[in-house]
Structure 1
């Protein structure tokens, strides 16, 4: 009798989860934020390692005189995070308005004591995307994955780095951490501030107006902000544009059938497709979930490599050396349909040439995804591949 009750309870829980998720998704599609931006201009520099990126970010915050507005998906509780928060507190103590947002799950280490210390220093802190009712299970998976910092309305940072010592390679598990992050100036800064202020409004109810301090910019750039709707269209359009070469770098590769079909068609028309993912995984099942898709594309001519010199967290797509997409979105279902993300499209060929060179420097040292690797993968990996099929919508 007890066993029957347990089975029924498990069944009801699964049913509740499925209904909650489907209804939550339907509701989400109705209320998704649509922030549309045309091509604008800006200037930018690229960071692929955490230490120089943090150094420049902290320096820019230290020199701020008007206001500081920051959103990070994840803020850890280690010396890097403590240094970051101290820089913010120091600036707020000078009388400069400082606003900080973190995702409710990604920022869970920002405990009550830390929040009180921020408030005492004058930093206005809030959590974004708090799980709640209705659709609790769905909202639990609906994360704000963006990373945007805007200083004085003149300087913006956006990309893949969060805040923590992981991102400077100081963990034995991952070692060197490969990522891409941009520092931007010019008119594009206002658009990134609009995205951040929309998140601020949803978290606090307070409407903020972007500053007009951007100055001029020399290069074309476009901001693409998505809310679990529209990203698949953007990526599909990029893939269809490819005529000669398509480079994809991502920590998680779990495409939809639509994107898989577009990649297959790109191969059929002679596009040289490269995909790079990490050998190590930072979440259960995500690597295994991608293996069937990688195998499918490998059989059709794609060149695939596992980055094994640390952890590969970069999110990059390069089309024919003419367009580069850098930002926060991964090539997975979560970024496509659940998360809030923000990407930047770059068109400057010299910059893209340098980025392409960096990509191939990593790729030439990557472990090939080939028949030998597939044949020698462990039993545990094979089992996890089967389990991952069920979990794909959440990965």
Structure 2
């Protein structure tokens, strides 16, 4: 009886912590607003070529290197990445590295000391503190941004580690999307990264001026657990013919579900692609009821099984694409710091759409056959996941 009472008291205290923490978060959310600007960009969907290009761009830097990654692992890819940064700092080029405190927990004291000894300025972002410790443990900076000399920017879904080049026995090939960009968009990405640096260090640094170039219209959307739901709903509402969603975690709000159901009812062809394998407990099971509702209304739903699907993409009528760091889940909507890029270039979107459909052809259909044959463990986890949705 005493154990049950203690559990109940603990649960109530955590709930109070979460609610008060969210209230404080919303009062102090960082708001970064950007209009359409211009850029030229290259898309990477595999980690190896992206790392090769990123490392080489850092190697050639002459002015300044500013990098943020949510997750930096502790393996040979990560060591190579950190060594490139250390080498550049030793040349006298200012190098700043920011990483999420929980996502990059493997960066131990020894690694951090080696970075400091080489001249790299390193800080953790989103370090959980009192008050509202439980809530702050949920709040993560999920962005991935690199800025080289104020001229080249990287943004997208890849973190740093060997998993992201397909060297995982569990996940094999890792599907993701990452952009390398030049033009005015780079300064705006730099402003996002330096705002995170300011929050972590108290040091205000001006973003470097980027070349006034770029032939394509883009818009940066930086969110802090506020505003992303509005952006996604607006995209869904504008769909007239086709809507494609790719995400590793599909746990929408009822507001977004209503928008998706309305889209299906007005004749929009809806595609949703999620991974068959999950990299976190309960996230796949939490999405099943939502996928089932949309499937019943005619949505095309598929489980990607040619590796792990980590890409975050929304394509509307072949006219607008959203690529970035935000997942289609409650964490990205209401807890995490994210950064996305809205793209309007038709040839680029056509190519992205073709890649999406090529992957979708390899999916396992979400249908009555799959539902009937899902395991007892999956069914049990679906029930548990209902209680965990706010944290998923």
TM-score bin, normalised by smaller chain: over 0.9
2:272 to 247, 251, 275: 275
Partners of 1:126 and 1:215 lie apart in 2 by: 31
2:368 pairs with 1:371: yes
Query: How big is each residue's C-alpha offset from its partner over 1:202-236, in whole Å with a ceiling of 9 and x where there is no partner?
Result: 00000000111333110000000000000000000
Partners of 1:198 and 1:213 lie apart in 2 by: 17
Tell me if structure 2 keeps the 8 A contact 1:159–1:181.
yes
- State the match for 2:17 in structure 1: 20
2:177 pairs with 1:187: no
2:179 pairs with 1:176: no
1:98-109 aligned at under 5 Å gives the runs 98-109=95-106
2:362 pairs with 1:353: no
Relative to structure 2, which stretch is displaced further, 369-378 or 210-219?
A: 210-219
- State the match for 1:391 in structure 2: 388
Partners of 1:8 and 1:375 lie apart in 2 by: 39
1:113-128 aligned at under 5 Å gives the runs 113-128=110-125
* Structure 2 unaligned regions, length at least 5: none
2:314 to 294, 312, 317: 317
- State the match for 2:197 in structure 1: 200
Shift of 1:9: 1.5
- State the match for 2:283 in structure 1: 286
1:36-75 aligned at under 5 Å gives the runs 36-75=33-72
SS in 1 for 2:19: helix
Partners of 2:139 and 2:92 lie apart in 1 by: 35
2:131 pairs with 1:134: yes
Query: How big is each residue's C-alpha offset from its partner over 1:270-289, in whole Å with a ceiling of 9 and x where there is no partner?
Result: 00000000000000000000
1:82 to 79, 86, 94: 79
Partners of 2:316 and 2:60 lie apart in 1 by: 37
Shift of 1:101: 0.2
Tell me if structure 2 keeps the 8 A contact 1:154–1:215.
no
Partners of 1:132 and 1:212 lie apart in 2 by: 35
- State the match for 1:157 in structure 2: 154
Shift of 1:12: 1.2
Partners of 2:238 and 2:322 lie apart in 1 by: 13
SS in 2 for 1:130: coil
Q: How many residues align?
A: 392
1:289-300 aligned at under 5 Å gives the runs 289-300=286-297
2:109 to 109, 112, 117: 112
2:26 pairs with 1:9: no
**Coordinate RMSD, CA, aligned:** 0.5
- State the match for 1:329 in structure 2: 326
Shift of 1:267: 0.3
Shift of 1:307: 0.3
Query: How big is each residue's C-alpha offset from its partner over 1:231-270, in whole Å with a ceiling of 9 and x where there is no partner?
Result: 0000000000000000000000000000000000000000
Partners of 1:215 and 1:158 lie apart in 2 by: 19
Tell me if structure 2 keeps the 8 A contact 1:39–1:221.
yes
Partners of 2:51 and 2:89 lie apart in 1 by: 19
What is the TM-score with the length of structure 2 in the denominator?
Answer: 1.00
Partners of 1:7 and 1:380 lie apart in 2 by: 25
Shift of 1:10: 1.1
Shift of 1:39: 0.4
Tell me if structure 2 keeps the 8 A contact 1:43–1:219.
yes
SS in 2 for 1:82: helix
